[in-house]
Amino acid sequence: MRSGAPRPPVVSPAVAALDVLAKGTLLACLVLVLLDPAWGNLEGKAPTARALTYPLLAFAVPLWWQLRRPSGSYPWLADLLLTFAAFSDILGNRLDLYDRVAWFDDVMHVAVVTCISAALVLLTMTRTSSTVAVLERSVALGMTAALAWELFELVSFVTRSAELPSAYADTLGDLLAGWIGTVLAALLVHHAWRHHLPPPDEISAEAQARLAR
């Protein structure tokens, strides 16, 4: 190995601890929401559907890891990003920020889609991927996730709420915020990879095989 060559970043134990803490707090909050939707300010906002779907997002990576048993270290950062996407919505509603702060919803759409897109890129690509390839993957997967969320909201509660008259404009704004998040995620991940890129002789056989596909 060449001396002085940059190494890929090592995930801090703090990231793993934060991931576990976020998962535990999320589950506790969801139990409270099921018992009393008013506790989370989720009356009329599909509290039961959220309580059932958010654990699927938060525990998607552990389940995938157990089923596939891939080589390498556990993707704690990607797991944390997906967990944060679910936890931040519950926390934002619990603090009533969506209703009290006019711009909070727009910021959260950018932040959540950024986290989801970055996590999916980290899980499905290698650090030798080009900027264009990372951007394509991030936009494709991230916008699919953003569209799925908008459809979830529409089916679960929007059609039966007072928000219906403004739903079209709000959905377009949310999708635009999601697109911004996908581009931001691609740029951040590729920037991090470019500055922590291992030399070619350190790229694993698994990574080379994935690049060849």
* Residue 50 burial class via C-beta count within 10 angstroms: exposed 0-12, middle 13-18, buried 19 and up: buried
Question: Chain-wide mean pLDDT for the chain?
Answer: 84
For residue 118, which of 172, 59, 72, 61 has the smallest C-alpha distance? 61
pLDDT in tens, 36-46: 999 999 988 88
How confident is the model over 101-123, as a mean pLDDT?
94
Q: What is the pLDDT of residue 173?
A: 84
Name the least confident of 10-24, 89-103, 127-141.
Answer: 10-24
CA dihedral 71, 72, 76, 81 (to 10 degrees): -70
Q: How far apart are CA 36 and CA 13, in angstroms?
A: 35
How confident is the model over 92-105, as a mean pLDDT?
92
pLDDT in tens, 11-50: 678 999 999 999 999 999 999 999 999 999 998 888 888 8
String of DSSP letters for 1-47: --TT---PPPPPHHHHHHHHHHHHHHHHHHHHHHH-GGGGT-TTS-H
Length of the chain (residues): 213
Name the least confident of 2-11, 12-21, 78-87, 120-129.
Answer: 2-11
Checking phi first, is residue 198 left (phi over 0); if not, alpha (psi -120 to 50) or beta? beta
How confident is the model over 145-163, as a mean pLDDT?
75
Helices 104-124 & 60-68, crossing angle to 10 degrees? 10
Contact yes or no for 18/43 (Cβ under 8 A) = no
Q: Is the pLDDT of residue 210 over 80?
A: no
Q: Is the pLDDT of residue 158 over 70?
A: no
pLDDT in tens, 168-195: 677 788 899 999 999 999 999 999 998 8
